[in-house]
């Protein structure tokens, strides 16, 4: 079973997927499918440093205060099988889970990044027809955290786009995180 990964300290970044793949659920690690490009995107963008063979979700939680969760907590490797009603049914539960962690550690994540457009879009009533990648101006109704929200490209090979198109939002997030970290160290 795949547990949500929040750690015991306030998070710098919380990644939000739509639901765990069966591979991740079985392995106990987010983005564990060998063909998934998530870890390469994190390293190449500069969000984290390391070797793709040694980076995993547990290491990111412990060393970098980067957490992982999903809107829907049911394993399914076919995203098309998830319908609007699944997101509506799970939305409040998702909000309660992320708020519970923020309350427990007495701070929200410094930013939240949705890994893919769909789960962000589905938090709105009605769902958004178009979502641009990057930092968002819109906040889903009743979203429980006051924190910047990013939407990143899907790391799945099923999402047809160039590597540059896929990587750019991760680079922008990385630059924003490093700028915020530099500013907070100066103060």
Query: What tens digit of pLDDT does each residue of 162-175 get?
Result: 999 999 999 999 99
β partners of residue 68: 5, 15
The widest CA-to-CA distance across the chain, in whole angstroms, is 48
Percentage of the chain beyond pLDDT 70 is 94
Q: How far, in Å, CA of 100 to CA of 94, rounded?
A: 10
Nearest alpha carbon to residue 60 among 31, 89, 36: 31
Residue 110: CB atoms within 10 A of its CB come to 18
Domain extent listing, the chain: 13-145+160-186
Q: How far, in Å, CA of 82 to CA of 17, rounded?
A: 13
For the record, the structure tokens of 60 come out as 């990111």
Q: How far, in Å, CA of 82 to CA of 166, rounded?
A: 23
Helix/strand/coil for 65: coil
Find the range with the poorest average confidence among 17-21, 65-69, 179-183: 179-183
Q: Is the pTM of this model over 0.85?
A: yes
pLDDT band at 183 (very low <50, low <70, confident <90, very high): low
Quick check: 16 and 70 in contact, CB under 8 A? yes
Residue 153 above 70 pLDDT?
yes
What top-level class would CATH report for the domain 13-145+160-186?
A: alpha beta
Quick check: 173 and 45 in contact, CB under 8 A? yes
Q: Provide mean pLDDT across the span 3-21.
A: 95
Which pLDDT does position 150 carry in this prediction? 98
């Amino acid at each position: 079973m795949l547990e949500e990964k929040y750690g015991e300290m306030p998070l710098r970044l919380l990644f939000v997927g739509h639901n765990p793949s069966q591979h991740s659920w079985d392995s106990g690690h987010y983005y564990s499918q060998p063909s998934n490009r998530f870890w390469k995107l994190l390293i190449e963008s500069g969000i984290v440093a390391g070797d793709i063979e040694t980076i995993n979700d547990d290491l990111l939680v412990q060393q970098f205060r980067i957490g992982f969760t999903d809107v829907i907590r049911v394993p399914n490797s076919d995203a098309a099988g998830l319908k609007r009603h699944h997101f509506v049914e799970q939305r409040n539960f998702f909000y309660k889970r992320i708020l519970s962690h923020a309350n427990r550690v007495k701070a929200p994540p410094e930013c939240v990044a949705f890994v893919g457009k769909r789960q962000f879009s589905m938090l709105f009533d009605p769902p958004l027809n178009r979502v641009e990648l990057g930092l968002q101006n819109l906040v889903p109704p009743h979203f429980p955290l006051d924190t910047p929200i990013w939407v990143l490209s899907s790391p799945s090979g099923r999402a047809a786009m160039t590597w540059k198109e896929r990587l750019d939002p991760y680079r922008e997030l990385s630059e924003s995180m490093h700028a915020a970290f530099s500013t907070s160290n100066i103060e």
